Amino acid sequence: PRYETYLYLKHSLHGTSPVTTFGPKACMLQNPHAVMHIQDPASQRLTWNKPPKSVLVIKKIQDASLLQPFKELCVFLTEKNMIVYVERKVLADPVIQADESFAAVIQKFCTFREDLDDISNRVDFIICLGGDGTLLYASSLFQKSVPPVMSFHLGSLGFLTPFNFDTYQSQVTQIIEGNAAIILRSRLRVVKESREKNARVDKKGIIMTKGDSEGSRKAMQYQVLNEVVVDRGPFSYLSNVDLFLDGHLITTVQGDGVIVSTPTGSTAYAVAAGASMIHPNVPAIMITPICPHSLSFRPIVVPAGVELKIMLSRDSRNTAWVSFDGRKRQEICHGDNITITTSCFPVPSICFQDPVNDWFESLAQCLHWNVRKKQNYLSSKEDVF
């Protein structure tokens, strides 16, 4: 509610912007429903419409090593007269409850419960303490506009957490003052439609109902930062799901499953399944099969503006299962469908340096990308052959 992202367009991420007129009379039809505009990632800066007053602190649950950093950060924020929001289950930790010196700080907190309390219009920015999972969890709390997120590396991998906690005071102060680069991490808008138990499916996969067709379907919506995973679940048979792109059947996935990921998610499960790594500023959706029973089924990248739909194949021997950023795992039955598009609500992730340097630093430090012992220098006296 209090922030904006200033985008100073110096040049397109893809180089010179192409012309949209062709010859004397032809031109490209302008689409008012464009998903996003391509900006120079180095030009994305955070600024505040009004000074920030509230902050949500997310701590990894059941991690004793984070208790001291959590307390230090909360004391620092309250001393700056910030309104601190903390999830109620975090304060239920017996160690926190037993700390009498921290009791006065706890009384100043505003608490909330996941899936029960709406804090979307109360929080100015978010601070995550933990690993990459804390950022994914923060994303799940906001189904529409997401406040800027500052992530401290206090977990195991830390690909999405660029800040070290050693200098948290100066780093947080810079954010409050509005001096920070920002990267917009696109999310997927996922709608899962399920048929009710009183409906049946005919041989062609069409849902048959006894009453109002609208009342026979149940729809759930999710905002996904990393990936949607459809797999075969506990069954021994191959997963057999149909994949549609803008209403056209493009292929049937036969294997352990399929991963539909954002560019941010391309360095998670997708890269373990053989996909390429995509910079978060690239507007795209990646489709990666999981152990496909085909030597030619390779991962593909499609434009961010397409609509994907996943359905259980009519002749599938068993059902499938789906999860959203590793959570909300549920079964996919015949007649169910999953629609995936690029969300218009990205996650504004605060950078340590800038979007490009932070990403390559994470590749090098976390995934050891292209780490190799260097070839020895060949002196002029040595024989080339």
pLDDT tier for residue 376 given thresholds of 50, 70 and 90: confident
Q: Which residues contact 52 (CB under 8 A, 6 or more apart)?
A: 2, 3, 82, 124, 125, 176
Q: Which residues contact 15 (CB under 8 A, 6 or more apart)?
A: none
Tokens describing residue 287: 């489709």
Q: What integer is the mean pLDDT of 218-240?
A: 94
pLDDT tier for residue 192 given thresholds of 50, 70 and 90: very high
Q: What integer is the mean pLDDT of 68-73?
A: 94
pLDDT at residue 28 greater than cutoff 60 = no
pLDDT tier for residue 114 given thresholds of 50, 70 and 90: confident
Amino acid identity, residue 290? Answer: I
Q: Which of 93, 132, 325, 336 is catalytic?
A: 132
Q: What is the pLDDT of residues 309-329, one digit of tens each?
A: 999 999 999 999 999 999 999
pTM: 0.84
SS3 string, the chain, reads CCEEEEECCCCECCECCCCCEECCCEECCCCCCCCCCCCCHHHEEEEECCCCCEEEEEECCCCHHHHHHHHHHHHHHHHCCCEEEEEHHHHCCHHHHHCHHHHHHHCCCEEECCCCCCCCCCCCEEEEEECHHHHHHHHHCCCCCCCCEEEEECCCCCCCCCECHHHHHHHHHHHHCCCCEEEEECCEEEEEEEECCCCEECCCCCEECCCCCHHHEEEEEEEECCEEEEECCCCCCCEEEEEEECCEEEEEEEEEEEEEECCHHHHCHHHHCCCCCCCCCCCEEEEEEEEECCCCCCCEEEECCCCEEEEECCCCCCCEEEEECCEEEEEECCCCEEEEEECCCCEEEECCCCHHHHHHHHHHHHCCCCCCCCCCCCCCCCCCC
Among the residues of 153-312, which ranges form H helices? 168-176, 269-272
Q: Is 124 noted as a catalytic residue in this protein?
A: no
The pLDDT, as a whole number, for residue 25 is: 43
Cβ burial, residue 294 (10 Å; 0-12/13-18/19+): exposed
Q: Which residues contact 328 (CB under 8 A, 6 or more apart)?
A: 222
The pLDDT, as a whole number, for residue 31 is: 59
Q: Which residues contact 98 (CB under 8 A, 6 or more apart)?
A: none
